[in-house]
């Protein structure tokens, strides 16, 4: 069963994440950060991952801790759900357009955390959401999923479109990376024998 539940409680946030890698894209989010909920829905739908996230955070300060800790918790959930990674494709990539914007995401479930984030947003905020938090979300994810993720917005003028193409491409790349490879069903996809 490629499922996981993570509970993360700190003085700043209380997060619960439940995920199923072999889902149908169902989702339920209660984070009190509406734009993030919209972006998380892109991951679930395009990754065909069933995903439930509830979060309470110190939003009276700002959304930083909440967004980062959701990324951390989601990464921990992925690490649990993929287990020893036996039979996984391991690598995934996707290009996703939305009107004038185009983004590329490439993932390696390598066991080594690393993030390359090449995105120049056209503005600093999408509504009241600080676009800097998108990188914080992904940094939290890669650090705790043990994944290398390269994210590039190749071009775009609308910051909402830029962000949405990133999250859609991330979901689609994850979908490929966590797929079971029927040719290597009992093999860990590494010359080292472990990931």
Smallest CA-to-CA distance from 193 within 184, 141, 180 is with 184
Residue 28 lies in a domain: yes
Residue 115 lies in a domain: yes
Report the predicted TM-score, pTM, of the whole model to 2 decimal places. 0.96
Structural contact between residues 21 and 2, judged by C-beta atoms closer than 8 angstroms: yes
Q: In what order do the strands lie in the sheet with 91-98?
A: 91-98, 101-108, 148-155, 114-118
CA distances to 53, 108, 126 from 129, rounded to whole Å, are: 18, 28, 5
Average pLDDT over residues 159-187: 94
If pLDDT is split at 50, 70 and 90, which confidence band does 61 have?
Answer: very high
Q: Report the domain count for the chain.
A: 1
Smallest CA-to-CA distance from 31 within 77, 2, 80, 71 is with 71
Dihedral sign, CA of 44, 95, 189, 108? negative
Per the structure, the complete domain to which residue 61 belongs is given by: 3-184
Residue 126 lies in a domain: yes
Give the CATH number of the domain where residue 29 resides: 3.30.230.40
Residue 84 lies in a domain: yes
Residue 189 lies in a domain: no
């Amino acid at each position: 069963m490629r499922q996981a539940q993570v509970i993360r409680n700190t003085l700043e946030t209380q997060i619960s994440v439940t995920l199923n890698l072999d889902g149908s894209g169902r989702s339920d989010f209660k984070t009190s950060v509406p734009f993030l909920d919209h972006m998380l829905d892109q991951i679930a739908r395009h990754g065909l991952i069933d995903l439930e996230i509830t979060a309470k955070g110190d939003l009276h300060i700002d959304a930083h801790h909440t967004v980062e800790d959701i990324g951390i918790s989601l990464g921990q959930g992925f690490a649990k759900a993929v287990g020893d990674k036996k039979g996984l494709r391991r690598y995934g990539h996707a290009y996703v357009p939305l009107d004038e914007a185009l983004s590329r995401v490439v993932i390696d479930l390598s066991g080594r955390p690393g993030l390359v984030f090449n995105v120049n947003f056209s503005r600093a905020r999408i509504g009241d959401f600080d676009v800097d938090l998108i990188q914080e979300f992904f940094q939290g994810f890669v650090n705790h999923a043990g994944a290398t993720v390269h994210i590039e917005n190749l071009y775009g003028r609308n910051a909402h479109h830029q962000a949405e193409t990133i999250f859609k491409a991330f979901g689609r790349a994850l979908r490929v990376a966590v797929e079971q490879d029927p040719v290597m069903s009992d093999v860990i996809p590494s010359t080292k024998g472990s990931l």
